[in-house]
Every structure is written in C-alpha cells, then in structure tokens.
Amino acid sequence: MPNLTNYHSHCSFCDGKAPLEAFVESAVGLGFTSYGVSSHAPLPFPAKWALEQERVGDYLAEIERLKKKFCGQIELYAAMEIDYLNEEQHPAIDYFQQLSLDYRIGSVHIVYTPEGKMIDTDTNAENFKQILEQDFRGDLKQLVAIYFESSMRMLEYGGFDFVGHANKISYNVEQCDPFLTQGEWYKKKLTDFFALVAEKELRVEINTKAYLSKGCFFPRIENWKILKKFNIPIVVNSDAHRPELVNAGRMEALEALQEMGFRTVGELHAGKWVEMPLEGMGCNF
C-alpha cells in the first residue's frame, strides 16, 4: 500500500488515549513507512490536553528509545503541534526552535476576544454557540475574523513545517450559520490565508481526523482548489488520538486528492520533506 505515513498524532503525553508505543506498533502493523509523534506543545498555563513543560525531556527520550527499538521497521519522527496564541507564544519562539524536534506543526485552536478572554474554537458545536452568544454577542463574523487574524499572524512568524487543520473553525461556523462559509466574505479570508501560505513557502496538511465522525476534512474538500491554484505542497495526516485510528480517513483523502488532479503528497524520508507520487489508490496495488 502506498503513501502510508502520518505526521500528526497524539498519545498519553498529551490528550491521546494510549501510550506512544501503542501508536507506533499500530503504524508498523499497518505497514507505515514513517510516523511522526506530535503531542500538543506546552502552554503557558495549565491545560490537561497539552504536554507539560517538565515532561518534555521524557517525551523526547521516549521517542528516541522507540526510534532505536523500531529501527529498520519504520522511520519515526519527533515533533510537536504548537499553538499560535499571541506574540509571545507561537512556534517561532526560541523555546520551540531550540528543542531537538524533527519538524513542527503550527495550529490555531485558541483565540482572544476583543476583551482579552481566551476562547477555544476547537470545541463542540454546543459550546461554540455559547461562546458566540456570550463573548461575541452573536457576531459570528467577528469571531471568524479573529480566527483568521491569528492564523495569518502564525504564518507571518513561521517557525513550523506545516499548518495543522487549516479552516477547522468552518465546521462550527456552519452549525451556527450554514451560509457564511459559502459567501464571498469567507472565501476571501480563506484565499488570503492560502496566498500567504504560498508566499511563505509553507506546507498545509489535509487533516482527516473528523472524516469518520463528521464526513469532512480540514481544510474542507471545497477549499482544495485554492491549494491547487497556489501550488501549495500538502501532507495527509490522521491527527490520531487512538492507536486504531492512525490511518483513519487517510485513504479516502488520498483518493479524493487524486480525483482532483493532485499528483504528489509530502513525506519525510531520512529527515527531509520530499514529494512522493500519489500512487493509484484503490487500483491494482
């Protein structure tokens, strides 16, 4: 089977549901050629879902141990999914740049209200609706605009290899207003975002985590033509939180990419990103 890789994954060092080794075993069992471990990076406040700063040493040591243990069976990589929070906390700061990581993911989950209150946009639709009413007086456009401002600033700072789940907010936005994401205002936000991704020569992941439960990828399949237009390199990741889901939704995404005329996906080989051909999903392989 071709293109069996994943570079966005979690484990019990953050909010993943099993020890790191169980994920690697699952990937090896499926015949993966490479696998990247990317726990949520430490945050400047206590958060159950993120790696604690005091455990970073243990985290890196465990990946090192598994690199040796599974040497010859799979290429294993050490990474972190790093939040863009504000000017002080983002992937490009010295702390994250100096850690011995093989690559870095830049993601936006949290944004700030105009009053400076922290909001997690990556929540269920019910909570999202509540946030919208309580903290944005129902002004969905303001919330979306702030999300894209944070996302754009993350690109300006850089310091990471690929963008995690771009436009993930769209799912919750659609639960509040099914028309907003279809309009020109939203499309311009997205186009400006991907234009900057291209200008900064960054990569975008197709995140398949929600495919089984919600039937969509992030960025959304409707957005992929913008990726194509700007010739943005991609990587297809499952964002697995359970070992049995390391490949969940990936084959469907690879097939859809091929149908849309994409020819390659990014994979790490000997520590370098290379463009590998999309190889005949569902054909005679």
Site size with Zn ion, rule: CB under 5 A:
4
Closest contact distance (angstroms) between CB of 208 and Zn ion is 12
DSSP for 109-158, please give it.
-EEE-TT--EEESSS-HHHHHHHHHHHHTT-HHHHHHHHHHHHHHHHHH-
Dihedral of CA 158/163/167/168: which sign? negative
Which of helix, strand or coil describes residue 254?
A: helix
Within 139-198, the residues that bind Zn ion by CB under 5 A are 164
Closest contact distance (angstroms) between CB of 75 and Zn ion is 20
Query: What distance, in Å, lies between the first and last C-alpha atoms of the chain?
Result: 7
Rounded-to-integer distance, Cα 232 and Cα 122, Å = 24
Instruction: Give the residue carrying structure tokens 């197709």.
Output: 206
Complex with Zn ion: residue 203 or 281, whichever CB lies closer: 203
- Site mask for Zn ion (CB under 5 A), range 59-98, x = bound: ----------------------x-----------------
Within 216-255, the residues that bind Zn ion by CB under 5 A are 239
Closest contact distance (angstroms) between CB of 43 and Zn ion is 13
Complex with Zn ion: residue 155 or 281, whichever CB lies closer: 155
Rounded-to-integer distance, Cα 57 and Cα 228, Å = 39
Rounded-to-integer distance, Cα 74 and Cα 25, Å = 10
Complex with Zn ion: residue 41 or 281, whichever CB lies closer: 41
Q: Does 107 bind Zn ion (CB under 5 A)?
A: yes
Closest contact distance (angstroms) between CB of 10 and Zn ion is 6
Closest contact distance (angstroms) between CB of 38 and Zn ion is 7
Give the DSSP H or E segment for 162: strand 162-163
Complex with Zn ion: residue 3 or 9, whichever CB lies closer: 9
Q: What angle do CA 66, 37, 94 make, to 5 degrees?
A: 110
Other beta carbons less than 10 A from residue 116's beta carbon? 7
Closest contact distance (angstroms) between CB of 226 and Zn ion is 21
Complex with Zn ion: residue 25 or 239, whichever CB lies closer: 239
Among the listed ranges 89-97, 103-111, 151-159, 223-231, the one in contact with Zn ion (CB under 5 A) is 103-111
Cβ(163)–Cβ(103) below 8 Å: no
Complex with Zn ion: residue 164 or 219, whichever CB lies closer: 164
Closest residue by Cα to residue 36 from 92, 93, 83, 74: 74
Q: Does 9 bind Zn ion (CB under 5 A)?
A: no
Other beta carbons less than 10 A from residue 253's beta carbon? 24
Closest contact distance (angstroms) between CB of 32 and Zn ion is 18
Complex with Zn ion: residue 89 or 258, whichever CB lies closer: 89
Interface contacts to Zn ion, rule CB under 5 A? 81, 107, 164, 239
